[in-house]
Chain A
Amino acid sequence: MTITHHPSDETLAAFASGTLDEARSVVVAAHVCLCAQCRATANALEQFGGALLERTNPAVLRAEALNSALSRIDEAVPPVSARRMSLDYPDVLAPYDVGQWRWIGRGLYWRKAQVPSYDGTRVFMLKAAPGSSLPHHGHSGIEWTCILQGAFRHNLGRYGPGDFDEADNSVEHTPFVERGATCVCLVALQGNLELRGWIGKLLQPFVRL
């Protein structure tokens, strides 16, 4: 797998420091799982965090803080619920409820993942038939995409498996799905349902159900 499009440094840093919105984190994580280079960068950023932690000025704890912790370390650990892995969607969606594929027209299907978000960013998978093209569209907010299978092209290049497309409201494009394989993506889309973009228009009648 040759990955040529990666998340920005700013995005990777926010991911590693845990300050990125959950919905976006999931799509970044899908890329990081597939990309050794970004995994190394995210690791390095965590190490940055570790080094910064060591250098931080210590807070003054309550006198009983240590004893309080000592009294709790032997408490029974609450059971951790097992992850529901599936071949049907990427592992990063395992902690979430994932809906059924639904037809939304022109060889296009989507399925929603229930990922909480602070700013209304939605996470869903999108499946587009080989050789299809999608209407020219802009974005009212961010549209981050991790390609899981197949490939599409637009004016910024070719996006194949593992590639990460970090589009924001400054981007307008017309994606073409390559012939040969169905294209499956994981998408984080910010914005309300009155989007003028194609995704918003296509999804609107279904999401309102």
Chain B
Amino acid sequence: MHEKADRITPERAAALVRAIATRRDRDAFKELFNFYAPRVQTMLMRSGATNEMAEDLAQETLIAVWRKAESYHPERATVSTWIFTIARNRRIDRFRTDQRAQLHHVYELVQPTGALPPDLPLEAVEREGRVRTALDGLPEEQVRVVELSFFEGQAHGDIAKRLGIPLGTVKSRLRLAMARLRDFLGDTR
């Protein structure tokens, strides 16, 4: 039915997570899984995980979506962003040498799961719309550098080598992309 999901609207994704939270809806889980698991796997492979580990972590990530569905706040972030952070935290914890302390607790402190912090300059939904608009408006060459740096954790020097461009160009593209993001956030720092 949802074997090849090409896209999913933020509203649809949020409704699916709600369906899991309120009535443990397995069809909703299947639909989320079919869209997100293959993409999380790609993301993890790009960040250096082996095929097997990426698949395993992608599965763990979606299982965490099922288990944590009640704690998802649609007003805080879209489902895609929420899943991005779960996958990130799973990957970090998997690669850690010391398994006792879990770094994802540190991220949870930074992003508390309780009431919305009153100091946010904008509602999360509106902010997220702005981030997407900013991303849509970036030239492809900037998106590429942002992806390599952000997704794959590549050092600027490695990106320069890989793309065959000067280091200064890598830095300026990243700076431009961040400035664009800041413009859309209304951050005048």
Contact surface of A with B, Cβ cutoff 8 Å: 6, 9-10, 13-14, 16-19, 22, 25-26, 29, 32-33, 36-37, 39-54, 56-62, 65-66, 68-70, 72-73, 77, 83, 91-92, 94-96, 114-116
Q: Which residues of A contact B89 (CB under 8 A)?
A: 18
Known: A40-B121, A95-B102. A13 touches B131 (CB 8 A): no
- A18 & B185 in contact (Cβ 8 Å cutoff): no
| Minimum CB–CB distance for A62 against chain B, Å | 7
Interface hits, B75-117 → A, CB 8 Å: 77-78, 80-85, 87-89, 91-92, 96-98, 101-103, 105-107, 109-111, 117
In the bound assembly, the distance between CA atoms of A61 and B47 in angstroms comes to: 18
- A53 & B109 in contact (Cβ 8 Å cutoff): no
Contact flags (1/0) for B30-41 with A, using CB distance below 8 Å? 100110111111
- A17 & B88 in contact (Cβ 8 Å cutoff): yes
Q: Interface centre among B43, B106, B111, by most A CB within 10 Å?
A: B106
Q: Which residues of B contact A41 (CB under 8 A)?
A: 182, 185, 187
In the bound assembly, the distance between CA atoms of A115 and B83 in angstroms comes to: 26
Pick 23 A–B contacts, CB within 8 A, sort by A.
A9-B174, A9-B178, A17-B151, A29-B106, A43-B77, A46-B77, A48-B131, A48-B181, A50-B78, A50-B80, A50-B82, A50-B83, A51-B80, A51-B132, A52-B150, A53-B36, A53-B83, A54-B39, A59-B54, A66-B37, A72-B59, A95-B103, A115-B101
Chain B residue at smallest Cβ distance from A92: B106
| Minimum CB–CB distance for B144 against chain A, Å | 11
Interface size on B, residues (CB 8 A): 75
- A59 & B63 in contact (Cβ 8 Å cutoff): no
Other-chain residue from B77, B107, B151 in contact with A52 (beta carbon distance below 8 A): B151
Q: Which residues of A contact B82 (CB under 8 A)?
A: 50
Interface hits, B131-167 → A, CB 8 Å: 131-132, 135, 146-147, 149-151, 153, 156
Known: A33-B110, A47-B77. A69 touches B33 (CB 8 A): yes
Known: A9-B174, A44-B131. A56 touches B42 (CB 8 A): yes
- A95 & B101 in contact (Cβ 8 Å cutoff): yes
Known: A36-B119, A94-B105, A96-B101. A62 touches B55 (CB 8 A): yes
Q: Which residues of B contact A54 (CB under 8 A)?
A: 7-8, 39, 80
In the complex, whether B73 has a CB less than 8 A from a CB of chain A is no
| Minimum CB–CB distance for A186 against chain B, Å | 12
In the bound assembly, the distance between CA atoms of A131 and B91 in angstroms comes to: 44
- A43 & B63 in contact (Cβ 8 Å cutoff): no
Known: A61-B37, A77-B67. A32 touches B110 (CB 8 A): yes
Other-chain residue from A39, A49, A96 in contact with B88 (beta carbon distance below 8 A): A49
Known: A59-B54, A61-B38. A72 touches B92 (CB 8 A): no
**5 closest A-B pairs by CB:** A50-B81, A19-B153, A58-B38, A50-B80, A95-B101
Since A41-B187, A46-B81 are in contact, a sample of 15 more A-B pairs with Cβ atoms closer than 8 Å, ordered by chain A residue number, is A10-B174, A16-B150, A25-B103, A29-B107, A43-B124, A48-B131, A50-B77, A53-B80, A58-B42, A60-B38, A61-B41, A66-B33, A69-B33, A69-B63, A114-B98
Known: A37-B187, A51-B132. A19 touches B40 (CB 8 A): no
| Minimum CB–CB distance for A56 against chain B, Å | 5
